[in-house]
C-alpha cells in the first residue's frame, strides 16, 4: 500500500493535499447549494430532498 | 489525483443519490404529501382522529427535481468522503476498498444524518421549529464535531484520542439543538414518526451504497494507475 504510494509517478504530496482540499470544498459547495441556500427557486426545487435528508428547512 | 477524486466521488454520489431518490419517492414522499394536506388545512386532525391513509402518486416535475437534488447533495457528500479517504490512504493510515468503504459510509451516515437527527429530527412539513439560521448552525457544528469524533475513533491510537472522540460526539447534544417555543404540528404523530424513521432508513441505505461504491471505485483506480506506471 505505502509502496504503491511512494512509487507512483503521480503528483507529489503537496499537490495531493491540494486536490483533497479542492475536492472537499467542491463537495461542501454542493451540499450547501442543495441543502441550505434559501433562494426561493432553489428552496422549492430541493424542498422534498431537504426534508427527507434531514436538512433544516424553512 | 484531482481527476480521480472527482470521478470516484461523482459516480458514487450520483448512484447513491439516485437510490436515495427512488427510495424517498416510494417510502418518504407519501408521508410528506399526506402531511402537507394537514399543513395546508385540507385535512384536519380533529379530535385526535384522522383516516389512516397515505396519499400517493408520482408528480413528474416534483419527483424529477428530487432526483436531481438528491444526486447533487449525495455527490457533495461523496466528494467530501472520497477526499477524506484519499487523505487517509495517502498517509498509509487506511486501506480503501469496497469493504472498508462500507464502514466509511456508515460513519458518514452517523455524521450527517443520525447525529443531527438526535437534536433536529427529519422535519415533517408543518412541524414547529426554532429559527432557521440557529438550526443550520447547530446542524453544521454537529456534523463537524461528529465527523472529527469518527476520525479520532477510527484513527486514534490512545485512550486520550478515544476519550476526545466521546466528548466530541456528546458535545452538540449536551449543548442542545435549538428547539421550537411550542409544539404546533397539525399532523397526526403517527405521520411524524413514520417520516423520521423512513427518512433515516433511506439515508442509511444511501450511505452504505455511497461508501462501498466510493471505496471500490477508489481501489479500482489505484490498481489501474499501478499497472499504468509499472
Q: Looking at residue B172, what is its pLDDT?
A: 98
Q: Check B225 against A56: CB less than 8 A apart.
A: no
- CA A1/CA A3 separation, integer angstroms: 5
- CA B77/CA B83 separation, integer angstroms: 10
The residue in chain A having the minimum alpha-carbon distance to the alpha carbon of residue B199 is: A52
Least confident range from B54-58, B64-68, B132-136, B194-198: namely B54-58
Cell of residue B162, nine digits: 478515544
At A2, the pLDDT band (50, 70, 90 cuts) reads: very low
In a domain, A28, yes or no: yes
Average pLDDT value for residue range B89-97 = 90
Q: Give, rounded to a whole angstrom, the gap between the first and last alpha carbons of chain A.
A: 47
Domain that holds residue A41: 13-53
Average pLDDT value for residue range B208-224 = 89
Give CA separation, B56 vs B27, B35, B40, in Å: 10, 12, 17
Q: Check A56 against B90: CB less than 8 A apart.
A: no
- Show the CA angle centred on residue A32, arms to residues A28 and A34, nearest 5°: 115
- CA B55/CA B32 separation, integer angstroms: 9
- CA B122/CA B199 separation, integer angstroms: 7
Of B36, B57, B192, B62, residue with least CA distance to B125: B36
Do A23 and B5 contact (CB within 8 A), yes or no? yes
At B204, the pLDDT band (50, 70, 90 cuts) reads: very high
Average pLDDT across chain B, whole number: 93
Q: Looking at residue B229, what is its pLDDT?
A: 40
User: Does the pLDDT at position A12 exceed 60?
Assistant: no
Which parts of chain B fold into alpha helices (H)? 2-23, 29-40, 60-90, 98-109, 115-119, 132-155, 159-175, 189-229
- CA B105/CA B14 separation, integer angstroms: 14
At B227, the pLDDT band (50, 70, 90 cuts) reads: very low
In a domain, A5, yes or no: no
- CA B125/CA B70 separation, integer angstroms: 18
Q: Looking at residue A16, what is its pLDDT?
A: 84
Cell of residue B230, nine digits: 509499472
In a domain, A8, yes or no: no
Of B226, B218, B199, residue with least CA distance to B11: B218
Cell of residue B43, nine digits: 385535512
Average pLDDT across chain A, whole number: 81
Provide the number of structural domains found in chain A.
1
| Set of chain A residues whose Cβ sits within 8 Å of the Cβ of B180 | none
What does DSSP assign to residue B14?
Answer: H
Do B90 and B84 contact (CB within 8 A), yes or no? no
| Set of chain B residues whose Cβ sits within 8 Å of the Cβ of A19 | 1-2, 5, 86
Min Cα distance B75 → chain A (Å) is 7
| Set of chain B residues whose Cβ sits within 8 Å of the Cβ of A24 | 79-80, 83-84
Amino acid at each position: 500500500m505505502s509502496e504503491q504510494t511512494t512509487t507512483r509517478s503521480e503528483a507529489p504530496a503537496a499537490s495531493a493535499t491540494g486536490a483533497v482540499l479542492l475536492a472537499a470544498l467542491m463537495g461542501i459547495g454542493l451540499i450547501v447549494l442543495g441543502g441550505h441556500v434559501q433562494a426561493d427557486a432553489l428552496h422549492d426545487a430541493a424542498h422534498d430532498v431537504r426534508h427527507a435528508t434531514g436538512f433544516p428547512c424553512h | 489525483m484531482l481527476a480521480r477524486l472527482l470521478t470516484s466521488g461523482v459516480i458514487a454520489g450520483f448512484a447513491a443519490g439516485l437510490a436515495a431518490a427512488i427510495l424517498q419517492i416510494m417510502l418518504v414522499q407519501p408521508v410528506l404529501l399526506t402531511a402537507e394536506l394537514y399543513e395546508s388545512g385540507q385535512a384536519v386532525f380533529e379530535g385526535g382522529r384522522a383516516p389512516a391513509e397515505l396519499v400517493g402518486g408520482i408528480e413528474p416535475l416534483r419527483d424529477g427535481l428530487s432526483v436531481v437534488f438528491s444526486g447533487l447533495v449525495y455527490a457533495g457528500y461523496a466528494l467530501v468522503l472520497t477526499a477524506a479517504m484519499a487523505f487517509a490512504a495517502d498517509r498509509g493510515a487506511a486501506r480503501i476498498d469496497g469493504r472498508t468503504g462500507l464502514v466509511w459510509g456508515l460513519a458518514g451516515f452517523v455524521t450527517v444524518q443520525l447525529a443531527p437527527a438526535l437534536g433536529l429530527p427529519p422535519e415533517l412539513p408543518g412541524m414547529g421549529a426554532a429559527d432557521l439560521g440557529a438550526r443550520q448552525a447547530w446542524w453544521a457544528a454537529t456534523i463537524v464535531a461528529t465527523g472529527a469524533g469518527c476520525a479520532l475513533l477510527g484513527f486514534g491510537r490512545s485512550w486520550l484520542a478515544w476519550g476526545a472522540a466521546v466528548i466530541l460526539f456528546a458535545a452538540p447534544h449536551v449543548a442542545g439543538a435549538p428547539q421550537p417555543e411550542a409544539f404546533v404540528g397539525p399532523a397526526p404523530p403517527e405521520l411524524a414518526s413514520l417520516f423520521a424513521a423512513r427518512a433515516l432508513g433511506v439515508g442509511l441505505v444511501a450511505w452504505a451504497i455511497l461508501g462501498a461504491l466510493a471505496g471500490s471505485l477508489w481501489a479500482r483506480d489505484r490498481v489501474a494507475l499501478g499497472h499504468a506506471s509499472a
